[in-house]
Amino acid sequence: MRTFDYKRADDAHSAVNAHSGQAAAYLAGGTTLIDLVKLDVMQPERLVDINRLAYDAIETTAEGGLRIGAMVRNTALADDDRVRRDYTVLSEALLQGASRQLRNRATTAGNVMQRVRCSYFRDGVSPCNKRVPGSGCSAIEGHNREVFAVLGTSDHCIAAHPSDMCVAMAAIGATVHVTGPSGDRTVDFLDFHKLPGDTPHIEHELGEDELITQVSLDAPIDGSGSTYIKLRDRSSYQFALASCAAVVALDGDRITAARLALGGVGTKPWRAADAEAALVGQPATREAFKQAAATAMQGATPYKHNAFKIPLARKAIVRALTDAAARARGDTT
Amino acid sequence: MSDSIIGAAVSRIDGPDKLTGRARYAGDFQPEGMVYAYGVYSTIARGRITGIDTTLAMRSPGVIDIFHHGRFPRLHRSPGTFAEENVVDEKRTPFEDDRIHYMGQFVALVVAETYEQARAAAYKVRVDYERDAQRAAATLAQGIEDNGVEHANDSERGDPAGAYDGAAYRVDAVYTTPVETHNPMETHATVAEWVDGRLRVFDSTQGVIFTRNTLSRVFDLDPSQVEVHADFIGSGFGGKLWVWPHCVATCAAAREVGRPVQFVLPRQQMFTTVGHRPETRQHVRLGADDDGRLLSIRHETINSSSPVGTVVEACGGSTQGLYACDNLRISHATAITNRGTPTAMRAPGAGVGLFALESAMDELAAELGIDPLELRRRNFTAHDQGADKPYSSNHLLECYDRAAEAFGWSRRTPEVGSMRDGDRILGWGMAACNWEAMRNPCDARVALRADGTASIHCASQDIGTGTYTILAQIASHELGLPLESIHVTLGDSTFPHGPISGGSWATATLLPAVAEASRAAIKKLKNYARNAASPLAGARGDSLVYDSGRLSDDSGRSATVAEILGAQSLANAVGEAHTGGAPDSGYSFDSFGVHFVEVAWEPEIAHLEVTRVVSAIDAGAIINAKSARNQVEGAVVMGLGSALLETTEYDERNARPVNSNYAEYLVPVNADMPDLDVILLDHPDYELNEFGARGIGEIGLTGMQAAVANAVYHATGRRVRDLPIMLDKLIDDD
């Protein structure tokens, strides 16, 4: 950790002002940022503390969705009655992330903005295109089992996006509300995180000094069931090796709507649109789910230590679809 | 009270201090004027330093000095022997020269007014390196390839090769175990201050005497000029047995800057410069007759070692004598890798050695088509053929019976995948445990005090296992005083000479010394009681009887300790004792046990869960039913981690540990806990000491990985010979 300047902002306007013209970082829960500053991986000259900003509410939108304040803590979001009822997948995803202590601090916007767990990014020394653009990717030929992707990778970066919450939001459908020097705007959640391509240091759509103020969720699909399945080596406090957020609506036993997103395997929260499309109109059978899983993982690229993630993700998909469909039928499992 | 206190489930007496934060750990001590040190660590694993530029760092706020190989006092190496009690695994002293032997080696130490300032400046130290032309050996395989294998030791009896060739049933398999990192909650910490040429150190150490002796050699001081304190330790698991470079560097820096210096090792460096359990490759060959009787055992191990010190992982130690077998060969060898030195980690040797042997026994049972428990029963021995002595007390068969009964082993169906619980396939496996029971010489001092309490002093330490508590229990038993009246003080090298907390020998070593010192204190009290000013003046020496803090003579007179000492204005009656090591009585001393494990394998989501563990442990008399159970439960959990999760991963291109943090170096969490049943046999082994206790810190870890691996085989048909058993080794590509 190097010396930095600290400013506490009282509103979004003053936060953006304090951020501009500096090598600055917004400080919310700090669960990623402070770690990386201590490790000397991030070297902000100024931290702009946004914890006092009044974005701490979860409101119902006119469209029947929810608008979640940037500063709503992960614990509060997971425990919210409307989230538990209408967006079970989101509550379950949050509760399988990190530990309770971390969830008590971590915020909604901070979760959207969390950095990758790639050890080569975090060691501050190895070549890493995210940390030092153009220096190379150490992970591609290195040790790449746990927190590395098989979807959306490039020759420049294979780090998996670590969030569980974002996977659920990608499945639900969401909008990121942003404010900044040139005013307010919105970004579709699926467009917010960027593929690494040949610019892995550009991770998201935020412009200079821009700040996330809210994330709004699309209205829940009527009669749908949803769930989040996270597969990992230990039962808690580990990032997903493969995870799946599934939302399924049925008419009888026929699938009328399906939403599918993957975690642990993608370089961004990974919406599996082709697999969704193939499911609609199909009977909710194991065969259909397995076919969807195969479709979702079709373009996957295995690396030296993480090839197992491809079959593992397929298993997560089949299980998530099975459980979501059961919930859509009203089974109490 | 005196009859029931030994063996009772007594809560740890230091619990309230730990819970309320009164317990002070090394990093909690802040001598007047203390400053902080932060390390700079090598970012290559093999080569040399070509330049260190501290210009920018020296200008950083608060910096006092920066040490490195070009600016550091000349120190001496410790002889590093157990007999002299000054063991070090990394022989080199810090900053000795410009050579780099492993990733994360100390290359500089920044001292500044605050911790944050020291860290900020450390990041500004620029170090240039030149890599050696030859690669750094990142793994045991690379070490063998690049540097060859160095023979360490071997032993043989009978004709193991010939017996194997003639055996009806054989197993020939290679097992591997990865580097494991100790990772106690409390990282290593040292606070050092020099006062008038004397060195005073607060250190997170498992051995205040060993640390004192080592530092006295490094700084060329008389041991009496060095004081080492360790009131509380946030566990060590063997990683804190010996002195590591940071401790020496901190002491030297404190002398150079003329102020006390604190150093706390960052979590990432727990993976580089303070030891680890080495990687092992174990070749096991078993031969048996038609009845499953072992005709030949060969257990040959190579472990990864280091350019800065050779450490041999004695995997075959338990194999010498656990089973009856006339033809046996054990060998150990090492290969140099570019890592810091390995060191003892909880149950060194048997901890991973029994993974290989007990997995091979399971494979042999499968070959023979007999029950794995029955195979072990048939090969039971009460005679340690390795030492050619009978075991002092071996109740392994009773362990088998009681644990099998509690587990329900008789309901096991042997076919792979034949037992189910809904969608989950159950696997039942078992493995034996074994650990040598050791005892070392020990001194102790016990004082009966005028206020009616008693104090115990010994230069040993409690690393979190419950040593404080069992010593209070023993003194309470001997002195007939309530537990609350016993004050135990450990962790100070100026106290009577005590043992390191390692090898599971603290209990067997300390109890006799404390008991004898207690009796010596009573004897001293009796001497004082006959003095003129005493209420028992003139009593005949052999007429005095001590009971529960009171002396009585044969004339009906009686007085309390307080009355006897108070009447003479004496503070206390002090007893001192020196007790010896394990008696040379013709016995071999070992502890035994068995683990039964149930796993549930859900192939649909590639999910493996350990659902039940039943362990029966024969570790002699149980002194504290609560802390003993706690030790075995903790060891079982650690064994589960070793079986399923733990592995320090190195980048094969440059020997950098890549999962050097608590998030990616996986150990079990609470949610992974199985239903855990620990059966403690509690058969005293009076051959080892008067209380019959053999120690219990490590036995519960041994065999655990094999029990899990054997259960996994029973569930899945996959014989995993390479730890840890992560799901990638079990998943089907469906």
ipTM, 2 decimals?
A: 0.96
β-bridge partners, B543: none
The pLDDT of residue B1 is 40
| Angle, helices B704-716/B625-644, rounded to nearest 10 degrees | 50
Calculate what percentage of chain A has a pLDDT beyond 90.
97
C-alpha to C-alpha distance for B645 and B207, rounded to whole angstroms = 29
Chain A neighbors of B651, CB-CB under 8 A: 138, 142-143
Residue with tokens 């338990």: B318
Fold of B280-437+585-729: Aldehyde Oxidoreductase; domain 4 (3.30.365)
Q: Hey, are the CB atoms on B671 and A318 less than 8 Å from each other?
A: no
Average confidence (pLDDT) over B239-244: 98
Per CB-CB distance under 8 Å, the chain B contacts of A40 are 123
Is A231's CB within 8 Å of B644's CB? Answer: no
Q: First vs last Cα of chain B: how many Å apart?
A: 63
Average pLDDT of the residues of chain B: 97
Nearest-by-Cβ selection for A125 from B43, B116, B661: B43
Q: Which residues of B touch A122 (CB under 8 A)?
A: 661
Query: Dihedral angle at the C-alpha atoms of B15, B18, B21, B27, nearest 10 degrees?
Result: 160
Question: Cα–Cα distance between A234 and B216 in angstroms, integer?
Answer: 45
- Report whether pLDDT(B419) > 90: yes
Distance CA B273, CA A309 (A): 33
Q: Can you name the residues that pair with A214 across neighbouring β-strands?
A: A69, A177
Q: Chain B closest CA to A138's CA: distance in Å?
A: 10
Question: Which positions of B are annotated as active-site residues?
Answer: 698
Nearest CB partner across the interface for A233, out of B116, B604, B645: B645
Tell me the domain boundaries of chain B.
15-21+443-579, 31-133+185-234+240-271, 280-437+585-729
pLDDT band of B126, cuts 50, 70, 90: very high
What's the average model confidence in pLDDT over B43-59?
A: 98
Cα angle, residue B228 at apex, residues B227 and B230 outer, rounded to 5°: 150
Domain boundaries, chain A: 5-47, 225-329
What's the average model confidence in pLDDT over B539-559? 94
- Of B38, B653, B658, which to mutate for an interface test with A (greatest number of A Cβ within 10 Å)? B658
Residue type, A87: Y
Task: Name the CATH architecture for the domain at B15-21+443-579.
Answer: 2-Layer Sandwich (3.30)
Q: What is the pLDDT of residues B695-730, one digit of tens each?
A: 999 999 999 999 999 999 999 999 999 999 999 999
d(CA A147, CA A141): 14
Could you tell me where the beta strands, DSSP code E, fall in chain A? 5-8, 24-27, 46-49, 58-60, 66-69, 174-180, 183-188, 211-217, 225-231, 242-251, 254-263, 270-271
Chain A to chain B Cβ contacts (< 8 Å): 90
- Cβ-contact B498, B459 below 8 angstroms: yes
Identify which of B119, B669, B731 has the shortest CB distance to residue A234. Answer: B669
Nearest Cα to B433, choosing from B171, B712, B724, B696? B696
In A70-224 the beta strands, taken as DSSP E runs, fall at 174-180, 183-188, 211-217
Q: What is the pLDDT of residue A2?
A: 79
Q: Mean pLDDT over residues B284-310, rounded?
A: 98
Residue B81: closest CA among B239, B190, B242: B242
Q: Please give the pLDDT value at position A230.
A: 98
* Residue B356 parent element (H or E): helix B350-368
User: Per-residue pLDDT averaged across B565-594, rounded?
Assistant: 97
Question: A131 is written with which tokens?
Answer: 């940390």
pLDDT for res B540: 87
Average pLDDT over residues B14-21: 96
Q: Are A315 and B606 inside 8 Å of each other by CB?
A: yes
Q: Which residue of A has its CA nearest to B57?
A: A2
pLDDT at position B4 is 85
Q: Sheet holding B419-421: strands in order across?
A: B419-421, B424-436, B590-602, B607-618, B675-680
User: Could you tell me the sign of the dihedral formed by the alpha carbons of B152, B156, B160, B162, in that order?
Assistant: positive
| Cβ pair B281, B176 in contact under 8 A | yes
**Tokens coding B573:** 């009656």
CATH architecture of B31-133+185-234+240-271: Alpha-Beta Complex (3.90)
Contact A143 B116 (CB under 8 A): no
**CA–CA dist B648, B180 (Å, integer):** 6
> B577 in helix, strand or coil?
strand
The CATH number of A225-329 is: 3.30.390.50
Question: What is the C-alpha to C-alpha distance for residues B143 and B138, in angstroms, rounded to an integer?
Answer: 7
How many CB atoms are closer than 10 A to CB B538?
12
B74 vs B92, B223, B532, B623, CA distance in Å?
A: 12, 19, 60, 47
How many beta carbons lie within 10 A of that of residue B420, not counting itself?
A: 11
Rounded CA-CA distance B19/A160 in Å is 39
Mean pLDDT confidence for B180-202: 97
Q: Which candidate, B199, B187, B189, B214, places its Cα nearest to that of B254?
A: B199
B-chain CB neighbours of A123 within 8 Å are: 656, 658
Same fold for the domain at B15-21+443-579 and the one at B280-437+585-729? yes
Contact A234 B732 (CB under 8 A): no
pLDDT of B2 reads 44
> How close A112 gets to chain B, by Cα (Å)?
19
Q: At what angle are helices A286-296 and A309-329 packed, to 10 degrees? A: 140
B422 inside 8 A of chain A by CB: no
Q: Which residues pair with B67 in a beta bridge?
A: B109
Structure tokens at B227: 């004081």
* Best of B126, B731, B732, B734 to mutate (most A CBs within 10 Å, chain A): B731
Locate the DSSP E strands across B165-279.
169-177, 189-195, 198-203, 226-229, 261-264
Backbone angles phi, psi at B461, to 5 degrees: -160, 160
Nearest to B731 among A2, A119, A312 (CB): A312
B611 Cβ under 8 Å from any chain A Cβ: no
pLDDT band at A332 (very low <50, low <70, confident <90, very high): low
Tokens of A317: 């998909």
pLDDT tens digits, A178-230:
999 999 999 999 999 999 999 999 999 999 999 999 999 999 999 999 999 99
Residue A51 and residue A29: Cα distance in Å, rounded?
A: 8
Please tell me which of the candidates A146, A231, A235 has its beta carbon nearest to residue B669: A235
Q: Does the beta carbon of B116 lie under 8 angstroms from any beta carbon of chain A?
A: yes
Q: Is A146 exposed, middle or buried (0-12, 13-18, 19+ CB in 10 A)?
A: buried
B56/A contact by beta carbon, under 8 A: no
pLDDT of B3 reads 59
Q: Which residue type does B585 have?
A: S
Residues of B in contact with A236 (CB under 8 A): 669-672
The answer to whether B596 touches B403, Cβ cutoff 8 Å, is: yes
Question: A125, A148, A289: which to substitute to probe chain B, counting the most B Cβ within 10 Å?
Answer: A125
Question: Which is more confidently placed, B4 or A7?
Answer: A7
